Amino acid sequence: MMIGCLILYHKTVTSLTKSLLLRAVFHEEDFEIEILDESTVVLYVWNVERRHVWQAALDFELASVHAGYGFGNYKWEAEERAHAVLVYSQGYQQHSGDICGSLTGLSTKSTIE
């Protein structure tokens, strides 16, 4: 069973708002939403076509909400891949550093110039 993961980050759009938007987009899917902090939300969705997750990521990016996506057989695997795709802004690094730290071992050192 494939699991998709979508991570959303925006400094001023609340996690509640991002959560409500994700619920509206994926209302027909089997999903789980995890709020990491005021700025970051993680969505896990089961048995969804990849194109639906890619389209949602694109839509959020076009609305200036940073989005990372990934797929895997396990939640941790999908989340790790989503973190690898996510591009962190300079403000995000200053705000919270590595949001997954010990879970993925990934760094948030990349920035958009």
Local confidence band at 9 (pLDDT 50, 70, 90 cut-offs) = very high
Q: Is the pLDDT of residue 101 over 60?
A: no
Of the listed ranges 40-54, 71-85, 96-110, the least confidently predicted one is 96-110
Taking the C-alpha atoms of residue 6 and residue 42, their distance in angstroms, rounded to an integer, is 6
pLDDT > 70 fraction of the chain, expressed in percent and rounded: 76
Q: Is the pLDDT of residue 100 over 80?
A: no
Considering the domain delimited by 3-91, tell me its CATH architecture. 2-Layer Sandwich (3.30)
pLDDT: which is higher, 17 or 96: 17
User: Which residues have C-beta within 8 Å of that of residue 83, sequence separation ≥ 6?
Assistant: 7, 68, 70, 99, 100, 104, 106
Classify burial at 68, counting beta carbons within 10 Å of its beta carbon; exposed 0-12, middle 13-18, buried 19 or more: buried
Task: Please state the rounded mean pLDDT for residues 59-85.
Answer: 94
The model's pLDDT over 31-62, given as tens digits with 9 standing for 90+, comes to 999 999 999 999 999 999 999 999 999 999 99
